[in-house]
């Protein structure tokens, strides 16, 4: 077996891995990797990847599986190290853009001269590594990583939608950073900025420069696309920009506060193009994700934040990540101003008005139960009954899930609401729905629609 070279070992490993992981996972993370070197003295196989993000992801998520395959193939306990094969040089923003190599997944495009300067307007903190992944944003994150690794090939356009403060802008900035590290040019802008520049270009007779600015980049990242609704001339301009980029296999990433089919009045031809690639939403983070986000952010704060304070914030601020950050920043500011350590009592004191504001917009358990009953056409009495037929148990379990996620009710409180059930049966009901959401598309559609209906109750 030691006669095998690293290329042969890794080719055999890929054959085994292809049978063990899903096709999308294989194509996104493993396809295009190559065995570089093997040392039986240090017991290590080095595998080349096309980008640092693929290397990091494989290192974190697939090392154990890969090492098990290597043991089976070679009979040796080989460790694996992932590294970037080549890193393309960073292109100067003033250089004439040359056609990217075909291996990068791009086709040739017209040679535009950049007459408008490029400046990095990305938040350095918004990277893929700093993005906290949870059930509410897992698909959006995976798609962002995919387009960061193989721009123009995976999902084009990538259309992200969700409420305010849930992480859409973070992912746009992260894709921009990743593109720059790969030597690609990018342009991050908002639809408002696009509109202003478009109008200015017409007024100053510099439309050719405007076209060059937007059509010569490798990656276009546009935020808040919903604001071009009702602006016919702007939609026309963006339509031609979209076509020019897409026809040249340039990557387009769009963020919106709603799915493309709800972007009315926007021309049908634009909305249909938004759906050409992948559309994925980012939901409000659940309790576990909120806790993880707070822990990660608290690690970089000047004042230590006790666990009970983090629990308070994650339980009471559940509409958006921005709410979480605002509450955590206020607790830090209060500690700085009073020169006192952060405690649960001080946190409650300084967050009192924000908590009241949140509570005004919180959903009452009664409203959640009523909407679930209306949606599934069952009575509240049946929902609280001991009947276990599927037409009753599924709505009951959905009610448990939404009471836990949206109203932050305790297991005991939910049990009391639903006919005096014990906390173990409530925990089981919540866990069943939480697990099934990953595979049951019908259930996911029901939960998504109920969330939408209930969100209208807080406006």
**359, two tokens:** 């509570």
Nearest alpha carbon to residue 334 among 312, 297, 302, 378: 302
Judged against a pLDDT cut of 90, whether residue 159 lies above it is answered with: yes
Determine contact, residues 443/347, Cβ cutoff 8 Å.
no
* Structure confidence by residue, pLDDT tens digits, 164-189: 888 999 999 999 999 988 889 999 99
Nearest alpha carbon to residue 273 among 312, 247, 299, 300: 247
Q: What is the DSSP string of 148-163?
A: HHSTTTS-SSEEEEES
Q: Residue 295 contacts by C-beta under 8 Å, 6 or more apart in sequence?
A: 310
* Structure confidence by residue, pLDDT tens digits, 212-241: 999 999 999 999 998 888 888 899 999 999
Nearest-angstrom CA–CA distance, 266 and 269: 9
Question: pTM for this structure?
Answer: 0.54
Partner residues linked to 253 by β-bridges = 158, 221
Place of tokens 């009947």: 387
Domains recognised in the chain with CATH numbers: 6-84 (3.30.300.180), 102-282 (3.40.50.300), 287-361 (1.10.8.60), 365-458 (1.10.1750.10)
**389, two tokens:** 């037929």
Confidence bin at 121 (pLDDT 50/70/90): confident
β-bridge pairing 251-256 and 219-223: parallel
* Chain center to CA of 59: 20
Nearest-angstrom CA–CA distance, 357 and 362: 9
β-bridge pairing 44-49 and 34-39: antiparallel
Give yes or no for a cis peptide into 157 (omega within 30° of 0): yes
Note the pLDDT of residue 365.
Answer: 86
> What letter would DSSP give residue 113?
-
């Amino acid at each position: 077996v030691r006669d095998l070279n690293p290329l042969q070992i890794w080719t055999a490993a890929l054959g085994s891995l292809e049978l063990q992981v899903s096709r999308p996972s294989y194509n996104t993370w493993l396809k295009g990797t190559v065995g570089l070197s093997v040392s039986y003295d240090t017991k290590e196989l080095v595998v080349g990847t096309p980008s640092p993000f693929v290397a990091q992801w494989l290192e974190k998520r697939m090392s154990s599986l890969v090492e098990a395959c290597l043991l089976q193939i070679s009979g040796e306990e080989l460790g694996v190290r992932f590294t970037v094969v080549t890193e393309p040089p960073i292109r100067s923003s003033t250089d004439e853009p040359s056609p990217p190599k075909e291996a990068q997944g791009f086709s040739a495009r017209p040679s535009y001269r950049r007459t408008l300067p490029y400046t990095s307007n990305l938040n350095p903190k918004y990277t893929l590594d700093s993005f906290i992944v949870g059930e509410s944003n897992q698909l959006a994150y995976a798609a962002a990583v995919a387009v960061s690794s193989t721009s123009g090939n995976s999902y084009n356009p990538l259309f992200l939608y969700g409420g305010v403060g849930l992480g859409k802008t973070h992912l746009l900035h992260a894709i921009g950073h990743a593109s720059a590290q790969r030597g690609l040019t990018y342009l991050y802008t908002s639809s408002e900025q696009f509109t202003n520049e478009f109008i200015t270009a017409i007024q100053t007779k510099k439309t050719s420069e405007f076209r060059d600015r937007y059509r010569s980049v490798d990656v276009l990242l546009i935020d808040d696309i919903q604001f071009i609704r009702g602006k016919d001339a702007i939609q026309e301009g963006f339509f031609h920009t979209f076509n020019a980029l897409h026809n040249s296999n340039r990557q387009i990433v769009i963020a919106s506060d709603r799915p493309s089919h709800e972007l009315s009045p926007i021309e049908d031809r634009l909305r249909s193009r938004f759906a050409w690639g992948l559309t994925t939403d980012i939901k409000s983070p659940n309790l576990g994700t909120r806790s993880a986000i707070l822990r990660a952010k608290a690690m970089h704060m000047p004042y230590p934040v006790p666990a009970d304070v983090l629990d308070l914030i994650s339980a009471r601020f559940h509409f958006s990540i921005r709410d979480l950050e605002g509450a955590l920043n206020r607790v830090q500011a209060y500690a700085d101003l009073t020169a006192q350590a952060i405690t649960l009592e001080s946190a409650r004191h300084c967050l009192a008005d924000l908590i009241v504001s949140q509570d005004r917009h919180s959903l009452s358990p009664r409203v959640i139960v009523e909407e679930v009953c209306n949606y599934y056409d069952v009575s509240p009495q049946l929902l609280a009954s001991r009947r276990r037929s599927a037409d009753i148990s599924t709505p009951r379990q959905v009610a448990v899930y939404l009471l836990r996620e949206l109203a932050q009710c305790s297991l005991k409180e939910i049990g009391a609401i639903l006919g005096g059930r014990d906390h173990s049966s409530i925990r089981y009901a919540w866990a069943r729905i939480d697990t099934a959401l990953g595979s049951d598309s019908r259930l996911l559609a029901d939960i998504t629609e109920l969330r939408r209906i209930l969100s209208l109750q807080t406006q």
